[in-house]
Amino acid sequence: LAKTTQPISMDSYEGQEVNITCSHNNIATNDYITWYQQFPSQGPRFIIQGYKTKVTNEVASLFIPADRKSSTLSLPRVSLSDTAVYYCLVGHLLTGGGNKLTFGTGTQLKVEL
């Protein structure tokens, strides 16, 4: 299973762009990269998913280099409400169907005024 490594914490200010990088050196050919956001006492919320190059949606961008051994979540113009834990995950297909997401400890992002 691909293990992910990301910074434990990051600090930012409102209006800044935040980039969180995750390494996943042993990612397999068919694995996707997914990022989740989690607030205290809530379930993780899906942010973005990608396989290679760049993916963008209404809340974030995901940059994946050609070797796919790392990925960077980019949050444009963060606000106080973006203070949360961000998880980088690599999915692993399970025998018989399903997809195992291995969660690490995530990155605690703190946004201040």
Partner 1 sequence: SQTIHQWPATLVQPVGSPLSLECTVEGTSNPNLYWYRQAAGRGLQLLFYSVGIGQISSEVPQNLSASRPQDRQFILSSKKLLLSDSGFYLCAWERDRQETQYFGPGTRLLVL
Among 21, 61, 74, 104, binds partner 1 (CB under 8 A): 104
Exposed (0-12), middle (13-18) or buried (19+): which is 58, by Cβ within 10 Å?
exposed
Whose tokens are 């995901």? That residue is 62
Among 29, 43, 58, 66, binds partner 1 (CB under 8 A): 43
Q: Residue 24 in contact with residue 33, Cβ under 8 Å? A: yes
Would you count residue 29 as binding partner 1 (CB under 8 A)?
no
Question: Which 44-103 residues touch partner 1, going by CB under 8 A?
Answer: 44-46, 49, 87, 91, 93-94, 96-103
Closest CB 5 distance from partner 1, rounded Å: 12
Whose tokens are 């018989």? That residue is 96
- Identify which of residues 78 and 85 has a Cβ nearer to partner 1 in the complex: 85
